Amino acid sequence: MAHRIAVIAGDGIGTEVMPEGLRALKAAAKRFAIDLDIQTFAFGSCDYYLEHGKMLPDDWFDQLKDFDALFYGAVGWPAKVPDHISLWGSLLQFRRRFDQYINLRPCKLMPGIQSPLAGREPGDIDFYVVRENTEGEYSSVGGKMFEGTDREVVIQETVMTRTGVDRVLKYAFDLAQTRSRKKLTSATKSNGISITMPYWDERVEAMAEAYPEVSVDKFHIDILTANFVLHPDWFDVVVGSNLFGDILSDLGPACTGTIGIAPSANINPEGKFPSLFEPVHGSAPDIAGKGIANPIGQIWSGAMMLEHLGHQEAANALVEAIEAVLAEGSPNVLTPDLRGQGNTASLGRAIAERIEG
Ligand code: GGG
């Protein structure tokens, strides 16, 4: 039976890397005889907002809920729509309504890419960030008072629920258990943020009792970011709240040379709703329209989607094709963030050709 994939390219470079993500997916589908039923949607972009006054149509949930996966580009064009309106009006709706409470973000130094961290080789950086994806600091609890006066007050609460914290910790511990190093690092700031973050720590300690084989480290976020740069080889599975996970999963890929290659999966592990696969990078208005965006984050996200849909061999073929093209290092193929003179299409085409074999 065909896998139903909903495609939403979104804004900026999302619309430029998506065709390369699809090209790679179609090449894998052909080689491994996978039936993909791909349907593209125009909503979820700032242009849609300018035309309709909202990021999504009222019936978006019903339109998307029966798909097997969502393949997503990027959102945001602050010159057209304020970022908090575009993000809350689209991507965060998907994550919440489809209960995609895991945001899984691999961070790996690939062959042929020079890390900005001196002396680091492929193999030195290979970890996952597991980000809580539906609550935490990304909460809609709060408000404004005395707006426009000199007594103006703004408040936004962090929300941590036992269910929300335990389920992301369980996912992270389960993942750590499958890895050879079996190491889990938890990010908090429990010396300064004195209620929610110590609560997260308590839940880590409680969960750790069920995983005696997993070694657990707890770091405050400030020194953890320093250690990402100084000792990226220390990390295996890093778990954090919505905000901390977001920051760490930009910093991690930056340590591997470029955020342009970083993929992510927003997962509803129970499979009750579709999961969503998107590059970590955003819409990058500064380079949009130039055709130079790196498509690897989108293509690698496609590999995570194929794995999620049960096609491990095809997923491996995508990642191997990415690694082969990076290792080859042809300057005419690689995008400028990889120190090449190529463009989005040349890199996407080279990877698709490798997949085809
Ligand atoms: N493809 C990822 C994307 O569009 N990100 C825009 C963004 O600002 N995301 C914030 C977040 O992931 O919470």
Which ligand 1 atom is at minimum distance from the Cα of 297? 1
How far apart CA 357 and CA 349 sit, in angstroms, is 13
pLDDT of residue 291: 98
Residue 279 Cβ contacting ligand 1 at under 6 Å: yes
Residue with tokens 């404004």: 144
Q: What is the pTM of this model?
A: 0.96
Q: Which amino acid is at 98?
A: F
Q: How many CA atoms lie within 13 A of 228 on its CB side?
A: 30
pLDDT of residue 1: 87
Among candidate residues 6, 10, 88, 4, the one with its CA nearest the CA of residue 43:
10
Residue 75 Cβ contacting ligand 1 at under 6 Å: yes
Residue 207 Cα to ligand 1 midpoint, Å, equals 29
pLDDT, tens only, 72-122: 999 999 999 999 999 999 999 999 999 999 999 999 999 999 999 989 998
Among candidate residues 165, 163, 230, the one with its CA nearest the CA of residue 196:
165
CATH topology of domain 1-108+259-357: Isopropylmalate Dehydrogenase (3.40.718)
pLDDT of residue 357: 84
CATH for the 126-255 domain, from 3.90.940.20, 3.40.50.300, 1.10.40.30, 3.40.718.10: 3.40.718.10
Residue 132 Cα to ligand 1 midpoint, Å, equals 14
Domain positions in the chain: 1-108+259-357, 126-255
Please determine whether the domains at 1-108+259-357 and 126-255 fall in the same fold group of CATH: yes
Burial readout 161-180 (b: 16 or more C-beta within 10 A, e: otherwise): eeebbebbbbbbbebbeeee
- What is the DSSP code string of 93-145? HHHHHTT--EEEEEEEPPTTPPPSSTT--TTS-EEEEEEE-SSBTS---EEEE
ipTM: 0.91
Structure tokens at 145: 């008072």
Residue 248 Cα to ligand 1 midpoint, Å, equals 13
pLDDT of residue 75: 97
| Host H or E run for residue 278 | strand 275-279
Ranges of residues in the chain whose predicted pLDDT is under 70: none
